Amino acid sequence: MADLSINLAGIKSPNPFWLASAPPTNSGYQVQRAFEAGWGGAVWKTLGEPILNVSSRFAAISFNGQRVMGFNNIELITDRPLEENLKEIYETKKRFPDRAIVASLMVEPKREKWHEIVKRVEDVGVDGLELNFGCPHGMAERGMGSASGQVPELVERQTYWVKEVARTPVIVKLTPNITDITATAEAAAQGGADAISLINTINSLMGVDLDTWNTIPHVAGKGAHGGYCGPAVKPIALNMVAECARHPRIRIPISGIGGISNWRDAVEFMLMGATGVQVCTAVMHHGFRIIEDMIEGLNHYLDEKGIASVMDIVGKSVSKYSDWGDLDLNYKVVARIHRERCIQCNKCYISCEDASHQCIERLVDENGKEYLKVREEDCVGCNLCSIVCPVDGAIEMVEVPSEHPPMTWNERQAALGRLSGCSVDIKSL
């Protein structure tokens, strides 16, 4: 059995699976039940001045038979008094001393407000703090959440204020509702953050009811933008984690969040630089017990690979994530259709004809049987045919050896620059 324990900026937990700050971490009752099920940590639902919520609050997109591909909420931070939450945090930490309890915090961008809440929360024994600069709805209109998180100067300043008094590690949770997330991640690092977590939810409108013309969800006939999460956002989150992980000025640990539903997703985030992961939508869909499969799956994966500690996989794929200009232009793959597996549905043919390079031919063999064949010299290796093919293994993407050594766009442009007399380092060619 591999060692699943992690240490994220000094916050230790027996496994990398934490519950994200959200409805599943709203109370001591829930967090304690989650810990009983096996979760390694929990980020307590955001504390601040208690708010008023609306009804209804959630909506989901189901796609092609899969429920809750994407999820949206217009719920705000905790609606319970701080004292009540602190009492339950204290009790939970006492019962589960080995689990990580991180308090999510959100207050106005005022120094004394941050100092007050940090001191009160740390007094009950939390293992760390997570500053919520991410929620896009409700609190943002009051200058908090993503309203702060979209302004690097505010992120840096508020992180600095927290670090002035904090005794536990400070994680800054980032909003994806920004052009370049590394700008705010760098600001957090500049402000002294011990770690960053990402992503918070994405601005969204889930839908419109075609009969009533109301938004989904609606509150007495009116709607508002909400925060989008769930499996649909995973690729967006993974990219943002990777961008932060490979950034030379963001040298702090990352807690990965965004559509993580199983151990495979968690491994992907950790390979791309996350020291641990936070989960919410999958728990809202399936309950706390999904942790059993996550732990078991991760253990098997590590054992099969002969990896002793889950910390050993952190960041192992970061160097493989680069810029387009560094990709090899001479690398080539082509599609190959395996006739024995092809069911002649023609989906690949249609896709290639309409959206790619018209390189699949419909032929007839000597027995009069129709078959599909890729004209490999015209295939650009775009993958579309293999993506739309409904039969696993019927279309294979095969690497074609190149007669030329690797050549990137950047190298090509450097060579053109040399011809035109621009100064270019020959070693880059």
Partner 1 sequence: MTYHQFLREREQIDYLIEQGYYMKSVKENLSGSFVEFEKEDSLSETRDIQTLHITNADARKYFSSLLIRQLRKHHE
Nearest one of 361, 421, 357 to 383, comparing CA atoms: 357
With CB under 8 A as the contact rule, which of the stretches 213-221, 258-266, 392-400, 419-427 interacts with partner 1?
419-427
412 binds partner 1 (CB under 8 A): yes
User: Which residue of 55, 66, 420, 423 would you call a contact of partner 1, by CB under 8 A?
Assistant: 420
419 binds partner 1 (CB under 8 A): yes
User: Which residue of 83, 377, 392, 401 would you call a contact of partner 1, by CB under 8 A?
Assistant: 377
Question: 187 vs 360, which CB is nearer to partner 1?
Answer: 360
416 binds partner 1 (CB under 8 A): yes
Question: 165 vs 329, which CB is nearer to partner 1?
Answer: 329
Least CB distance to partner 1 at residue 322 (A): 19
CA–CA dist 380, 359 (Å, integer): 9
With CB under 8 A as the contact rule, which of the stretches 143-151, 193-201, 341-349, 410-418 interacts with partner 1?
410-418
Residue 263 and residue 301 in contact, taking contact as beta carbons nearer than 8 Å? yes
Is 382 catalytic? The answer is: no
Nearest one of 156, 46, 152 to 107, comparing CA atoms: 46
Question: 82 vs 415, which CB is nearer to partner 1?
Answer: 415
343 binds partner 1 (CB under 8 A): no
Residue 173 and residue 196 in contact, taking contact as beta carbons nearer than 8 Å? yes
User: Which residue of 262, 378, 382, 398 would you call a contact of partner 1, by CB under 8 A?
Assistant: 378
Least CB distance to partner 1 at residue 426 (A): 5
- Through-space distance between the first and last CA atoms of the chain, rounded to whole angstroms: 47
With CB under 8 A as the contact rule, which of the stretches 306-314, 346-354, 389-397, 407-415 interacts with partner 1?
407-415
Q: Which amino acid appears at position 118 of this protein?
A: V
108 binds partner 1 (CB under 8 A): no
130 binds partner 1 (CB under 8 A): no
With CB under 8 A as the contact rule, which of the stretches 1-9, 32-40, 149-157, 405-413 interacts with partner 1?
405-413
CA–CA dist 237, 179 (Å, integer): 13
Least CB distance to partner 1 at residue 355 (A): 16
Scanning residues 305 to 334, which ones bind partner 1 (CB under 8 A)?
Answer: 329-330
Question: 308 vs 400, which CB is nearer to partner 1?
Answer: 400
Least CB distance to partner 1 at residue 383 (A): 18
Question: 65 vs 401, which CB is nearer to partner 1?
Answer: 401
142 binds partner 1 (CB under 8 A): no
CA–CA dist 276, 100 (Å, integer): 12
Which residues form the interface with partner 1 (CB under 8 A)? 329-330, 357, 375, 377-378, 404-405, 407, 411-412, 415-416, 418-420, 426, 429
Catalytic residues: 135
